[in-house]
């Protein structure tokens, strides 16, 4: 997680963590989804911030980082008792399988690049 990029009136950078892949923390984000979660949290006096973040939002899982974020969310949700151990185990297992598949694909792409370079060099 990266630090929120918001600069406060006194010139200091906000010290909170940016939410998800965004540039700002939950207080400074202008992402409609985050703002919706924030609005709900205010209505429920802060209770639903964790619920909102722990709930699943469909998203692409194409890179190792995508899957790391999923696993991180799942771990947090499991630690807070927001999801069952069975679901946490399933996410962990599928996530690890997905990471291996992504890494294999990356290796295959790198291998193709290397083969192309070797071919060009041997001309």
Residue selected from 1, 9, 16, 46 as contacting Zn ion according to rule CB under 5 A = 16
Closest CA to 71 of 46, 91, 44: 91
Which stretch in 3-11, 51-59, 97-105, 111-119 sits in contact with Zn ion by CB under 5 A? Answer: 3-11
How many C-beta atoms surround the C-beta of residue 63 within 10 A? 12
The DSSP element (H or E) to which 51 belongs, if any, is helix 48-54
- Of 25 and 34, which has the nearer Cβ to Zn ion? 25
Structure tokens at 34: 């985050």
Question: Least distance from C-beta 18 to Zn ion, angstroms?
Answer: 8
Calculate the alpha carbon distances from 92 to 83, 98, 103, 110 in Å.
12, 10, 16, 27
Distance in Å, CB of 10 to Zn ion, minimum: 14
**Which part of the chain contacts Zn ion (CB under 5 A), choosing from 23-31, 72-80, 82-90, 102-110?**
23-31
Binding region for Zn ion (CB under 5 A):
4, 6, 14, 16, 25, 28
């Amino acid at each position: 997680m990266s630090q929120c990029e918001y600069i406060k009136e006194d010139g200091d950078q906000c010290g909170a963590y940016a939410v998800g892949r965004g540039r700002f923390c939950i207080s400074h984000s202008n992402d409609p989804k985050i703002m919706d979660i924030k609005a709900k949290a205010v209505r429920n006096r802060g209770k639903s911030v964790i619920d909102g973040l722990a709930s699943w939002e469909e998203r692409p899982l194409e890179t190792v980082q995508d899957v790391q974020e999923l696993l991180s969310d799942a771990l947090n949700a499991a630690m807070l008792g927001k999801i069952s151990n069975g679901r946490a185990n399933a996410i962990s297992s599928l996530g690890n399988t997905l990471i291996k598949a992504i890494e294999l694909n990356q290796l295959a792409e790198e291998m193709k690049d290397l083969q192309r370079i070797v071919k060009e060099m041997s001309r």
